[in-house]
Amino acid sequence: MAGSRRVEHLIVGAGTAGAAAARTLRAEGAEVLLVGRELDPPYHRPPITKGLLQGVETRESTFFDGLEDIELLTRTSVMALDTGARVATLQSKEEIEYGSALVATGAMVRRLNAEGAQLDGIHYLRALANAESLRRDAEQAERVVCVGGSYIGCEAAASLTAMGKRCTVVMLEAEPLERGFGARAGHWFRSLLESHGVEVVGEGSVEAFTGGERVEAVQLDDGRSLPADVVVVGVGVLPDVMLARKSGLELGDTGGVRCDAQLRTSAEGVYAAGDVCEYASPLHDGRHVRIEHEDHAERQGETAARNMLGAGAEHRTVPYFFSDLADWASLEYVGGGAEWDEEVVNGSPDDGRFSVWYLDRGRVRGVLDVNSHGDLDRGREAIEQGARLTRPDIVG
Ligand SMILES: Cc1cc2nc3c(=O)[nH]c(=O)nc-3n(C[C@H](O)[C@H](O)[C@H](O)COP(=O)(O)OP(=O)(O)OC[C@H]3O[C@@H](n4cnc5c(N)ncnc54)[C@H](O)[C@@H]3O)c2cc1C
């Protein structure tokens, strides 16, 4: 019969936020149990579309450091949290009594619900094994279609092009990366991709995948057909709230676990962090936002851990994001989840090094920095201070 035990701090989800929280708690000498349902110990996901896919990084090199003296259960799902009794039930039926718990269950890929979606050769990217299986499959392929113009689709297209494949990116938007960075920056990214031979198809909606057992083409709703030996789908993620919902935690407007600025959920002693966490962000005037970036998940894990130890701190770190398109361009961004009504470009897009400042009635909401133009720290400071700037303040 399954037994029961007690831990000071239970972390559900052994991903980025969970690992960062576990490390922070351990560093303070606290007792932690980190439970994750994946096969692997916590690892960095960004290499999945970059070095691991290209074969220049190994699986082991993606693993998190600093977890050696932390008790970790892999291949183990937490099935339920009784937040009143503070008891978690594992899939083994073992019960864990906890003092405080962190829900760091991340996100799941959004599946494209088109005809032919079950054909062989259609890939989604979330876990290490996905990169390995895409890499194996792509070895035999000539033509790859990446569905989705966000960073997953663009990064995968760049990596696969660098591996000698003929890639097409197809997306609903007019320009790649437009949703995050606007049409002007998006146009620059389109030119970059095209200059390396990637075909970019904007305003294209996938209607079906066709083929025999294996995919042979992607059909668009305007009748176009894009030949494909392999397809990569990157059309967003959904917060993984299965456990949270079952445990009665309040959910928010973006579908995540609703938290206050200290990352406390609606249940006493239960916190959330990372892709699943929708928090009242002081940097966004208290608006609830949910952000899907690695550094953000790590920083939130740390804040939640400190609060599990009683710090009572608000999460105020400016979200940071990075992306690489093969070795063609690197981009970094601070801010996030915000709207803007003005864009100010600093530097020279023609030379490939520039920044775009996103202002909302003059207030700096985000800064995109391409190829280390050098505006990131200034941008972060302006966002932290709630600064209102004009074009001359920015470009000097
Ligand atoms: C392919 C790819 C490339 C990326 N590239 C970048 C990048 O370049 N830059 C960037 O900033 N961000 C990038 N990201 C985003 C970044 O990796 C995520 O924002 C980050 O991993 C979120 O961390 P998390 O801890 O919230 O979730 P995850 O890292 O997804 O961890 C959640 C874990 O919880 C587990 N889990 C869920 N439910 C349970 C349960 N009930 N019991 C036990 N375990 C459970 C899941 O299996 C998972 O392992 C990328 C993401 C992907 C998928």
Torsion sign across C-alpha atoms 238, 244, 245, 250: negative
- Pocket flag, ligand 1, residue 14 (CB < 6 Å): yes
pLDDT in tens, 289-299: 999 999 999 99
- Pocket flag, ligand 1, residue 321 (CB < 6 Å): yes
The rounded Cα 285 to chain-centroid distance in angstroms is 23
Pocket perturbation via mutation, ligand 1, pick of 43, 177, 275, 318 by most ligand atoms within 8 A of CB:
275
Annotate 189-240 with DSSP letters as a single string: HHHHHHHTT-EEE-S--EEEEEESSBEEEEEETTS-EEE-SEEEE---EEE-
pTM for the predicted model, two decimal places: 0.97
- Pocket flag, ligand 1, residue 12 (CB < 6 Å): yes
Q: Is 334 helix (H, G, I), strand (E, B) or coil?
A: strand
- Pocket flag, ligand 1, residue 77 (CB < 6 Å): yes
In terms of phi and psi (left: phi > 0; alpha: psi -120 to 50; beta: otherwise), the region of 371 is left
The rounded Cα 71 to chain-centroid distance in angstroms is 25
Calpha distance 375→357 (Å, rounded): 9
Calpha distance 312→19 (Å, rounded): 20
Name the CA dihedral angle for 35, 40, 42, 45, rounded to a multiple of 10 degrees.
-130
Parallel/antiparallel/unpaired status of strands 329-335 and 363-370: antiparallel
Annotate 108-159 with DSSP letters as a single string: EEPPP--BTTTSBTEEE-SSHHHHHHHHHHHHT-SEEEEE-SSHHHHHHHHH
Phi/psi of residue 130, nearest 5 degrees: -65, -40
Would you state the pLDDT for residue 2?
61
Tell me the two tokens of residue 180. 């995050």
Question: Which atom, in ligand 1's list, is nearest to the CA of 17?
Answer: 25
User: Do residues 128 and 52 make contact, with C-beta atoms less than 8 angstroms apart?
Assistant: yes
- Pocket flag, ligand 1, residue 15 (CB < 6 Å): yes
Would you state the pLDDT for residue 1?
44
AA identity, residue 35: V
- Give the largest CA-CA distance in the chain: 71
Tell me the two tokens of residue 63. 């693993």
Tell me the two tokens of residue 132. 């390995």
* Cα-to-centroid distance, 372 and ligand 1 (Å): 26
Would you state the pLDDT for residue 396?
83
User: Do residues 103 and 244 make contact, with C-beta atoms less than 8 angstroms apart?
Assistant: yes
Would you state the pLDDT for residue 336?
81
pLDDT in tens, 113-139: 999 999 999 999 999 999 999 999 999
Interacting residues of 217 by C-beta distance below 8 A, sequence separation 6+: 209, 210, 211, 225, 226, 227, 228
For 31, what's the count of Cα atoms within 13 Å in the CB-facing half-sphere? 7
User: Do residues 235 and 206 make contact, with C-beta atoms less than 8 angstroms apart?
Assistant: no
Residues of the chain with pLDDT under 70: 1-3, 337
Interacting residues of 149 by C-beta distance below 8 A, sequence separation 6+: 169, 170, 171, 172, 173, 175, 176, 177, 178, 179, 186, 202
Nearest CA to ligand 1 atom 29: 15
